[in-house]
């Protein structure tokens, strides 16, 4: 764990050593000051050597100036070092999240992921900057000060050290206790974030169902858990700091009491006691730093553990070493004894499924809810991996081709369209990054949305709002179709894209779909009869199995499951 953390310093070794070098130099300066005071009291003032006194004053002022410069360098470039490391970790974490399979996102709350990207990385970067710096300053100052102090008086130095072992033992004991409380708080903060995100994303549903009070109660439950966790944390911290504070004050007491007794015995001089009191003032701030370092280390390492936990999460679906790019020739898709079950479920969704979709045809998947239609569609682009069997596209097993080439050749139009909180232009460019203005307008026209976009004051540069909330459902759906027009894939999957739209929007989208599917292999999952009845072939799924297939009229004539669904008007 420590080795992994240190690896993030490597690109910024120069900054790190600058920060540490300045920290050590500042420690040396702080150690020199009490010795100069001792020199004044012991020699220069009794000898009334004004020139030597002025030189010492000049050196003291120079020390103050140099310490200020060191403080500036540490505060500025030390924090810049931490920010650079935080940026690298955040980029690495985000890139890693992009690689993870759908299964990870199915079982992980978005709020927890956001907490890792924001709160946890902030704690890590604070530790990355302040941790080594505080440790170096503290150790260098304490060790250096005591080397000088022992050279002046061994007995008084030993007396002043009396509180130190008690502080160390107490700090180690409570450090472990603090680490546990910090872990609980971090976990609870992630729960609060997740709860807030869910409530805000579903604010329309909350208001439409009048569930504000329920959501408030639900939030208050998790908020109270966070309150209790933080209360426990601050109780532990309060005990820790108060007892450590007592030990700090005992440093002064032991030094003054021991020094007074030693002066009475003639073992040390009064100027030695003054010097030692000044050195106690030099030593105590590093002890404070060590106290903060212990606390910061616990928080930072708890956050880094959570960061590493995500980084060690492996994608459940990866390319084979010898994976080749998918080559589409005809667009044939075959399911060969495919069985599938979700990780979080004990239910088998698809059961020994066999079917063939001919290239350049439009086929439909129908069936009751839970029959496995959307799962079927998700297996083709390998969003999930089948447990048994294989999915073959033009003679190539999808598990043997690269995921990038697979996704490049498949276009998805889903029921719940996601639009990014940016302009129509930028959302279209997800279909083709370098799309020209003419290509985007052509795609919008083909999706029956060009006239509407031209009527907008900002046209194609109009903002769509978060998740496309400034547009109607039909308009969002047509933007998603325009994106696929720009992508121009040979295989198209249309997943219940018109099931929740009005008849006018459905007609516009159906027209756009006919244009889009021309010359492609198109798979339609739909409840609307207008889409289903015109398909070249209809596959009827029930409980994860293929039970019927054929054209609309043929299936009606069989008077089987399709006819039963049709009679219920499930697709009308």
- pLDDT tens per residue, range 166-224: 877 787 777 667 767 776 777 777 677 767 767 776 776 666 667 778 778 878 887 88
User: What structural domains does the chain harbor?
Assistant: 2-311 (1.20.1560.10), 418-488 (3.40.50.300)
- pLDDT tens per residue, range 372-411: 888 898 899 998 888 889 999 999 999 999 998 998 999 8
In Å, what is the CA distance from 165 to each residue of 36, 176, 177, 247, 425?
29, 17, 19, 10, 66
Two tokens at 518?
């021309």
What percent of the chain shows pLDDT beyond 70? 93
Q: What is the DSSP letter of 421?
A: S
End-to-end CA separation in angstroms for the chain: 59
- pLDDT tens per residue, range 243-266: 878 888 888 888 889 889 999 888
- pLDDT tens per residue, range 116-169: 777 788 888 888 878 888 888 888 898 999 999 999 999 999 998 888 888 777
How many helical (H) and strand (E) elements, i.e. helices and strands, does the chain have? 22, 10
- pLDDT tens per residue, range 405-462: 998 999 888 777 888 888 999 989 888 888 899 999 998 998 888 889 999 999 999 9
Two tokens at 502?
């009005």
CA 160 to chain centroid: 47
The Cα–Cα gap between 338 and 378 comes to 13
The Cα–Cα gap between 384 and 341 comes to 10
Among all chains, which residue has been given the structure tokens 């006239």?
A: 451
Whether 470 has a pLDDT exceeding 80, the answer reads yes
Rounded to an integer, the average pLDDT of 68-72 is: 92
Characterize 483-521 residue by residue with b for buried, 16 or more Cβ atoms within 10 angstroms of its Cβ, and e for exposed.
bbbbbebbbbbbbbbbeebeeebbebbbebbeebbeebb
Record the pTM. Answer: 0.68
The Cα–Cα gap between 375 and 445 comes to 31
Rounded to an integer, the average pLDDT of 525-530 is: 67
Can you say whether the dihedral through the CA atoms of 32, 38, 42, 43 is positive or negative?
positive
The Cα–Cα gap between 523 and 391 comes to 15
Position 571 scores a pLDDT of 42
Mean pLDDT in the chain?
84
- pLDDT tens per residue, range 264-315: 888 888 888 899 889 988 888 888 787 777 767 877 888 888 888 888 888 8
Assign 463 to helix, strand or coil.
strand
Position 111 scores a pLDDT of 66
- What confidence tier does 504 reach under pLDDT thresholds 50, 70, 90? low
Residue 23: exposure state from Cβ atoms within 10 A (0-12, 13-18, ≥19): buried
Residues 6+ apart with CB under 8 A from 516: 446, 447, 481, 484, 485, 492, 522
DSSP letters spanning 261-320? HHHHHTSS-HHHHHHHHHHHHHHHHHHHHHHHHHHHHHHHHHHHHHHHHHHTPPPSS---
Contact 93, 116 (CB under 8 A): yes
Report which of 466, 462, 514, 432 is spatially closest to residue 200, judged by C-alpha positions: 466
Whether 62 has a pLDDT exceeding 90, the answer reads yes
Whether 335 has a pLDDT exceeding 50, the answer reads yes
Contact 97, 307 (CB under 8 A): no
């Amino acid at each position: 764990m420590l080795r992994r953390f240190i690896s993030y310093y490597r690109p910024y070794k120069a900054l790190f050593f600058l920060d540490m070098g300045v920290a050590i130099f500042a420690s040396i300066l702080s150690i020199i000051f009490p010795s100069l005071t001792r020199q004044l009291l012991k020699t220069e003032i009794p000898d009334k050597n004004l020139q030597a006194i002025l030189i010492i004053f000049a050196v003291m002022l120079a020390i103050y100036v140099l310490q200020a410069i060191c403080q500036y360098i540490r505060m500025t470039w030390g924090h810049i070092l931490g920010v650079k490391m935080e940026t690298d970790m955040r980029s690495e974490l985000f890139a890693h999240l992009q690689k993870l399979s759908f299964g990870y996102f199915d079982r992980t709350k978005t709020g927890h992921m956001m907490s890792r990207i924001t709160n946890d990385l902030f704690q890590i970067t604070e530790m990355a900057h302040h941790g080594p710096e505080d440790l170096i300053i503290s150790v260098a100052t304490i060790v250096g000060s005591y080397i000088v102090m022992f050279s002046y008086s061994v007995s008084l130095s030993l007396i002043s050290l009396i509180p130190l072992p008690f502080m160390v033992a107490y700090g180690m004991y409570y450090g472990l206790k603090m680490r546990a409380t910090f872990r609980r708080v971090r976990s609870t903060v992630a729960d609060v974030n997740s709860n807030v995100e869910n409530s805000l994303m579903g604010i329309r549903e909350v208001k439409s169902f009048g569930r504000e009070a329920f959501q408030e109660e639900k939030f208050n439950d998790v908020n109270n858990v966070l309150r209790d966790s933080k209360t426990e944390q601050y109780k532990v911290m309060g005990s820790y700091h108060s007892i450590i504070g007592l030990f700090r004050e005992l440093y002064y007491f032991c030094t003054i009491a021991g020094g007074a007794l030693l002066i009475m015995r003639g073992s040390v001089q009064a100027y030695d006691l003054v010097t030692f009191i000044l050195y106690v003032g030099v030593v105590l701030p590093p002890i404070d730093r060590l106290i903060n370092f212990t606390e910061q280390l616990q928080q930072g390492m708890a956050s880094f553990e959570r960061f590493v936990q995500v980084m060690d999460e492996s994608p459940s679906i990866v390319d084979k070493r010898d994976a080749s790019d998918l080559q589409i020739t005809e667009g044939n898709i075959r399911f060969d004894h495919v069985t599938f079950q979700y990780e979080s479920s004990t239910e088998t969704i698809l059961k020994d499924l066999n079917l063939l979709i001919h290239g350049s045809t439009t086929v439909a998947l129908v069936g009751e809810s839970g029959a496995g239609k959307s799962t079927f569609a998700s297996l083709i682009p390998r969003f999930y991996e089948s447990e048994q069997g294989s999915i073959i596209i033009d003679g190539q097993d999808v598990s043997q081709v690269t995921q990038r080439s697979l996704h490049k050749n498949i276009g998805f139009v889903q029921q719940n369209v996601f639009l990014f909180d940016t302009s129509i232009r930028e959302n279209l460019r997800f279909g083709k990054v370098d799309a020209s203005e003419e290509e985007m307008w052509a795609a919008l026209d083909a999706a029956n949305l060009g006239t509407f976009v031209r009527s907008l004051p900002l046209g194609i540069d109009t903002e769509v709002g978060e998740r496309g909330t400034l547009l109607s459902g039909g308009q969002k759906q047509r933007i998603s179709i325009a994106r696929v027009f720009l992508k121009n894939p040979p295989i198209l999957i249309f997943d219940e894209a018109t099931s929740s739209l009005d008849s006018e929007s459905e007609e516009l989208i159906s027209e756009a779909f006919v244009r889009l599917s021309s010359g492609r292999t198109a798979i339609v999952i739909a409840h609307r009869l207008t889409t289903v009845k015109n398909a070249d072939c209809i596959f009827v799924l029930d409980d994860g199995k293929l039970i019927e297939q054929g054209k609309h009229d043929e299936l009606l004539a069989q008077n089987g499951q399709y006819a039963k669904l049709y009679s219920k008007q499930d697709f009308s």
